[in-house]
């Protein structure tokens, strides 16, 4: 857990996710399905297990 927390901090994942979600919300056109898919994509692209798989 400590290694994951350190990697999360080192890679600035929180800032990356915050920016990505902000960008998504600016693009929101009222399509909830599209919005949910974009948010899930951000989650999948930035999950810590992905970092340790590589």
- What would the pLDDT profile of 7-34 be if each residue is shown by its tens digit? 888 888 889 999 999 999 998 888 999 9
The count of other CB atoms within 10 Å of the CB of residue 16 is 13
pLDDT, position 35: 92
Neighbour-count burial for 17-35, b at 16+ CB within 10 Å, e otherwise: beebeeebeeeeeeeeeee
Confidence grade of residue 37 (pLDDT, cut at 50, 70, 90): very high
pLDDT, position 47: 83
Q: Which pair of tokens denotes residue 3?
A: 């290694």
pLDDT, position 7: 83
């Amino acid at each position: 857990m400590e290694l994951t927390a350190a990697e999360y901090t080192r890679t600035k994942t929180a800032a990356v996710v915050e920016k990505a979600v902000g960008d998504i919300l600016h693009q929101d056109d009222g399509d909830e399905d599209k919005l949910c898919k974009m948010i899930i994509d951000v989650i999948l692209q930035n999950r810590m297990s992905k970092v340790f798989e590589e």
